[in-house]
Amino acid sequence: MPRGKSIAFARIRAEVIRLVALIPPGKFTTYGSIAIHMNVIARHVATVLSRLTEDESASLPWHRVVSADARLSPNMDAALSRKQRRLLKAEGLRIDKDGYIQDAETHFHVVGVRRNIRWSEVGE
């Protein structure tokens, strides 16, 4: 029997979506930056973004989240990677042939300082 989603994961998912929605056009952040702010691991952030619903994907600026080295993920589906590149370029970011965002310091969005939170205990 499959396990249900945990309450902690539901809270993490909601916070990832909230934070990604706050990234302004022309800026980007990293999976790790969001993770550090939330006191989770980058894989949690990546998992949430990889499982967005079609509606969430259409309305959330998921394309503004990249790898720690300001690079579009080389592991992403090729069509999705092309879409991410196109969306970022439309917002004024320059990306080299290897997928690295140029002048990254200028375009980096700081999520915030690390929060001291344990997701399994929030609101309990």
**Structural domain contains residue 59:** yes
What is the model's pLDDT at position 124? 45
Q: What is the CATH number of the domain that holds 56?
A: 1.10.10.10
- The pLDDT tens digits of the residues spanning 34-64 come to 999 999 999 999 999 999 999 999 999 999 9
Share of the chain above pLDDT 90, in %: 79
Q: Does 115 map to a domain?
A: no
Q: Is the dihedral of CA 59, 65, 71, 75 positive or negative?
A: negative
Residue 124 lies in a domain: no
For residue 55, CA distances in Å to 26, 41, 60, 104 come to 22, 25, 8, 29
Domain count, the chain: 1
What residue numbers bound the domain in which 44 lies? 7-108
Is residue 2 domain-resident? no
pLDDT per position as a tens digit, 73-94: 888 899 999 999 999 999 999 9
More confident residue, 30 or 9: 30
CA dihedral 53, 82, 22, 47 (to 10 degrees): 50
Inter-residue contact 107 to 28 (CB < 8 Å): yes
- What span, in angstroms and rounded, lies between the C-alpha atoms of 13 and 45? 8
pLDDT value of position 1: 41
